[in-house]
Amino acid sequence: MAYTAQLEKNISIKSLQNLKAKQEKFVTVALYDAPMAAMAERCGVQAVLVGDSLGMTVLGYKDTLPVTMEHMIYHVEAVARGNHKSLIIGDLPFMTYATPQQAMKNATRVMQAGANMVKLEGGRWLEETVSMLSERGIPVCAHLGLTPQSVNKFGGFRVQGREKHQANTIAEDAYRLTEAGADLLVLECVPAKLAATITSTIAIPTIGIGAGRNTDAQVLVINDILGLTEMPPKFSKNFLIETDDIPSALQKFVSDVREGHFPEDQHSFQ
């Protein structure tokens, strides 16, 4: 098939900041291997996330907690071999960044494996860590809202920020992590109004998943895009049933995000 949205140049943090400034949506996909990474580049996906979601989507665990640094290194290396233009974001797994020094050591490994940025889950307690990484040349994507590594603390995969005090905490954390030097922010499973407010008040681009249509970007896991998830979450959509093949499904996701057709209200939380 013909690819209609191929990336013409390497995507950088500055590229994504410029898109936010122009109020143009960008696209992120969570994926884990070289062939899908190469296809994402050809379909115009600006950022790929090698997420610890691979614990559930690839390795068969019930949550992300068993994922190790060795798992992440293996999959970051694979994605980096397949994709040379998208911005590659690599997760730091559960309890691999409990201290700034531990975060520095493990973030270095992920960057050396081929990532352009690391992602950390958590709020204001990460300020010192984010500042240290940023000062030493390691870009950081923060992650607020439903942070899957805290699933046991939350009592399950639950929407965060519906209560006023919780929403205020998330908004304050977003501001503080931005000030500490974070370059991107993932907002997962938060009310659409809260995500819109945060997006309009912080300088860095936001990437939403179950956070409404008013974030600067959207991310979905490739398994959800292709209808491979047995019990898909509310915020996901199977794009393969609307198209003829896998590349067409991925290109449909890309175009729907850029044109504002996805997510719709049924994919969001109020």
Q: What is the pLDDT of residues 41-78, one digit of tens each?
A: 999 999 999 999 999 999 999 999 999 999 999 999 99
| The pLDDT of residue 156 | 72
| The pLDDT of residue 119 | 98
Asked whether residue 248 carries a pLDDT value surpassing 70, the answer given is yes
Asked whether residue 4 carries a pLDDT value surpassing 70, the answer given is no
Distance CA 248, CA 3 (A): 9
Mean pLDDT of the chain: 96
| The pLDDT of residue 8 | 82
Per-residue pLDDT of 184-205, as tens digits, reads 999 999 999 999 999 999 999 9
Is residue 3 included in any domain, yes or no?
no
Instruction: Please say if 242 is a catalytic residue.
Output: no
pLDDT tier, 157 (very low <50, low <70, confident <90, very high otherwise): confident
Is residue 68 included in any domain, yes or no?
yes
pLDDT tier, 154 (very low <50, low <70, confident <90, very high otherwise): confident
| The pLDDT of residue 268 | 87
Note the helical H segments in 48-191: 54-57, 69-82, 100-112, 127-135, 151-154, 164-180
Is residue 1 included in any domain, yes or no?
no
The parent domain of residue 257 ranges over 13-267
69-to-20, 83, 95 alpha-carbon distances in Å: 32, 21, 10
Is residue 245 included in any domain, yes or no?
yes
225-244: average pLDDT: 95
Model pTM? 0.96
| The pLDDT of residue 2 | 57
Helix (H) or strand (E) holding 143: strand 140-145
More confident residue, 270 or 16: 16
Is residue 124 included in any domain, yes or no?
yes
Asked whether residue 235 carries a pLDDT value surpassing 70, the answer given is yes
203-to-21, 221, 265 alpha-carbon distances in Å: 9, 26, 26
Catalytic pick among 188, 230, 259, 264: 188
> What total number of domains does the chain contain?
1
Amino acid at 226: L
List of residues 6+ apart from 18 with CB closer than 8 A: none
Is residue 216 included in any domain, yes or no?
yes
123-to-58, 131, 150, 175 alpha-carbon distances in Å: 27, 13, 12, 10
- φ, ψ at 243 (rounded to 5°): -135, 180
Per-residue pLDDT of 74-109, as tens digits, reads 999 999 999 999 999 999 999 999 999 999 999 999
Asked whether residue 5 carries a pLDDT value surpassing 80, the answer given is no
Two tokens at 220?
Answer: 């979905």
Give me the CATH number covering residue 188.
3.20.20.60
Is residue 5 included in any domain, yes or no?
no
| The pLDDT of residue 1 | 60
Amino acid at 105: K
Is residue 104 included in any domain, yes or no?
yes
Q: Which of 168, 159, 255 is nearest to 212 (CA)?
A: 159
| The pLDDT of residue 270 | 82
